[in-house]
Structures are given as structure tokens and as C-alpha cells.
């Protein structure tokens, strides 16, 4: 007899006053199994930092002119100023490898 078959038989044979405790134990086992099946959440991304054009150019090993002339996904426009997302640059560099 398997463990689950034993549990089913126990559910049929327990006295009615023992069933609430039994159901609580079954629910605890169900939640533990459910959590084990759930994928783990990814680690949260580090807080982003907005870089100046000089910092971004150094990180990307390119010229400031290239950054001004190229439409890149990690550029943030703050009024007339351009800032560059550090997280965006790091992701861009990972994809380039």
C-alpha cells in the first residue's frame, strides 16, 4: 500500500471529530508541494543609475559623438539632457557577447 493509499484509507476511517486536524495536515502538505512546484522568482534588478554621456561612453568604449548620433534603447531624455541607464547598458553589453 502506498502512502497516498494509506492517507485515503485514513480519511475514510477517522472519527468525525478527528477530521479537522486531518484536513489541516493535508492542506499543509498540499501547500508545501505547491510551493516546491512553483518557479522561484528572479532576483530583483539592482536600482538603476542614470549616467552622463562621458560615463556611458567610457562604459561602452565609444565616443560621445557615437552616443549622440545613435538611437540606443537605454537613452533617457531629461529635457534637453541625455542620460544613459546603467542597467540598460549592462543588458546591451550582455546581448552583444
Provide the grid cell at 55.
560615463
Task: Provide the residue ranges of all domains of the chain, joining segments of one domain with +.
Answer: 3-37, 50-96
Q: Classify residue 48 by its DSSP letter.
A: P
Instruction: Give the model's pLDDT for residue 14.
Output: 92
Provide the grid cell at 18.
478527528
Distances (CA, A) of 91 to 4, 13, 40, 84, 88: 48, 59, 21, 12, 5
Instruction: Give the model's pLDDT for residue 74.
Output: 94
Instruction: Give the model's pLDDT for residue 39.
Output: 83
Provide the grid cell at 69.
548620433
Provide the grid cell at 35.
510551493
Residue ranges for the chain with pLDDT beneath 50: none
Alpha helices in 38-96 (DSSP H): 53-60, 64-69, 86-96
Instruction: Give the model's pLDDT for residue 93.
Output: 93
Q: Is the distance from CB of 57 to CB of 64 less than 8 angstroms? A: yes
Instruction: Give the model's pLDDT for residue 44.
Output: 82
Instruction: Give the model's pLDDT for residue 45.
Output: 73
Amino acid at each position: 500500500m502506498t502512502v497516498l493509499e494509506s492517507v485515503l484509507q485514513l480519511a475514510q476511517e477517522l472519527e468525525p471529530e478527528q477530521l479537522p486536524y486531518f484536513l489541516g495536515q493535508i492542506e499543509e502538505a498540499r501547500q508545501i508541494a505547491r510551493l516546491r512546484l512553483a518557479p522561484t522568482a528572479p532576483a530583483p534588478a539592482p536600482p538603476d543609475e542614470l549616467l552622463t554621456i562621458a560615463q556611458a561612453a567610457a562604459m561602452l568604449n565609444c565616443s560621445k559623438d557615437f552616443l549622440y548620433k545613435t538611437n540606443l534603447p537605454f537613452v533617457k531624455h531629461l529635457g534637453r539632457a541625455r542620460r544613459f541607464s546603467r542597467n540598460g547598458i549592462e543588458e546591451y553589453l550582455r546581448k552583444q557577447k
